[in-house]
Amino acid sequence: MTKRTIVPARKVSGLVEVPGDKSISHRYALLAALANGRSEITGYAAAADCQSTLNCLKRLGVRVERSSGASAGQVAITGAGLDGLRRSRRTLDAENSGTTMRLITGILAGQSFDSTLTGDASLRKRPMRRVIEPLTRMGAHIVARDGNFAPLKIEGAALRAIHYTLPVASAQVKSAVLLAGLFAEGETSVEEPVRTRDHTEVALSEFGASMRRTGRTVSITGRTPLQPRKVAIPGDLSSAVFFLAAALVLPESDLIVHNVGLNPTRTAVLDVLCSWGAAIKIVSVHGESGELVGDVSIQHSPLTGGVLSGAVVAQLIDELPMLAALGPYTERGVEIRDAAELRIKESDRIAVLAANLRHMGAHVEERPDGLRVEGKGAGRLHGAEIDPADDHRMAMAFTIAALGAYSPSVIRDAECVAISYPDFFSVLDRIVER
């Protein structure tokens, strides 16, 4: 287990690229596996989670070619059509990846064979009833531990189309139902309380599925064959946010993040930071396989902080750890409400944020659905030993918070960043000046 010392820094500057978007990578891999022929993906995420999706697909008989080293972003996947997956004799392992487990469950529910799907200790504690429930309504047979947790035993079944209203705003649940809808006769629709990331809808359209959107309802007509595609994946904005935050923590910073995904269902974090006073500019936007891509520039600027609550919380879900850890660097502090979902991510992110921020000297009030972190008035952070609870986003958020502290910090089990960003520390080292 690696401990990583984080020495306070003066600024971040220069040009940086982040690895391919994790959410989009999962979706392209899954759809390529169901298409008729060979798809070529460039910019496939370096994230361990996205390798978990490829590993599951290989076990389901899909031909996956991925080079190692510098070309690891190039992945070729040869699908054999909607009915081309084969039964895996071994248990499929989604490891730490909730997206892999929930999306693949949607696909496996509609197969003519049975599957067993498991994950690591963290994933086996995360709720799966949220996908089991709508899929069961579609005719799926899924048995889970206590009706809610992996391992999942999925008996393939003929599915029927449904109209489903999501009780929680979750792109993973929406995606599981839409992917199951690919295998159902007729039109399956999902209505969401708040618009969540729409990469599944965009990717399904790109691969030739018949999709329709009206307001907050998205529909798919089942059994339309998918076509193989050549697709390029933009950089992951959720990874870029750590570097943007570093620029806001460290005075004199001036940074450009190149080639990053700017899908409007993901950019709420940029709106929030701008509304807090961050000098962020978006330059050279273009479209790529239905997704927006561009460069984001940022200059150090003082932040007001503020309250994050209501509908926007679902659109900031992966960025909330970093936004909370920015609290002590803001004028008024940061308050997060309506975010109980944070407690059932890779860790209990509310508890882990509160505990580690307090270790660094921050004043924090923890609440069932969020937390309040006092601003600069409560004093400057000092270094501390941080336990990220094996959660990649915690390790990265506290690394950035530690850069602005007045004494060094240690991040325990720092290798957990590999879940989304294996090169995080080496890229950070390249842009940091001490």
Nearer to ligand S3P, 77 or 339 (CB): 339
Contact between 77 and 85 (Cβ < 8 Å): no
Nearer to ligand S3P, 253 or 420 (CB): 420
Q: On the CB side of 32, how many CA atoms lie within 13 Å of its CA?
A: 28
Nearer to ligand S3P, 96 or 409 (CB): 96
Nearer to ligand S3P, 190 or 303 (CB): 190
Residue 172 found at the interface with ligand S3P (CB under 6 A): yes
Listed ranges 140-148, 158-166, 171-179, 248-256: which one lies at the site for ligand S3P (CB under 6 A): 171-179
411 in helix, strand or coil? strand
Least Å distance, CB 168 to ligand S3P, is: 8
Residues 6+ apart with CB under 8 A from 152: 101, 105, 116, 117, 118, 128, 132, 142, 143, 144
Beta strands, E only, 147-303: 149-155, 163-165, 187-191, 210-214, 217-221, 230-232, 254-261, 279-288, 291-299
Least Å distance, CB 185 to ligand S3P, is: 26
- Among 318, 390, 391, 413, the one annotated catalytic: 318
Beta strands, E only, 273-342: 279-288, 291-299, 306-308, 334-336
**Amino acid (one-letter) located at 327:** G
Cα–Cα distance for residue pair 293/296, rounded to 1 Å: 10
Listed ranges 28-36, 165-173, 202-210, 222-230: which one lies at the site for ligand S3P (CB under 6 A): 165-173
Residues 90-119, mask of contacts with ligand S3P (x by CB under 6 A): ---------x--------------------
The separation between the first and the last C-alpha atoms of the chain, rounded to the nearest angstrom, is 26
Residue 170 found at the interface with ligand S3P (CB under 6 A): yes
Residues 173-212, mask of contacts with ligand S3P (x by CB under 6 A): --x---------------------x---------------
Show contacts with ligand S3P in window 294-323 (CB under 6 A). 317-318
Task: Classify burial at 128, counting beta carbons within 10 Å of its beta carbon; exposed 0-12, middle 13-18, buried 19 or more.
Answer: buried
295 in helix, strand or coil? strand
Q: Which of 92, 131, 159, 171 binds ligand S3P (CB under 6 A)?
A: 171
Task: Classify burial at 348, counting beta carbons within 10 Å of its beta carbon; exposed 0-12, middle 13-18, buried 19 or more.
Answer: middle
Least Å distance, CB 171 to ligand S3P, is: 4
Listed ranges 80-88, 167-175, 276-284, 401-409: which one lies at the site for ligand S3P (CB under 6 A): 167-175
Contact between 345 and 311 (Cβ < 8 Å): no
Nearer to ligand S3P, 171 or 362 (CB): 171
Clarify whether 49 is annotated catalytic.
no
Can you give the binding site for ligand S3P, defined by CB under 6 A?
A: 23, 99, 170-172, 175, 197, 317-318
Active-site residue list: 318
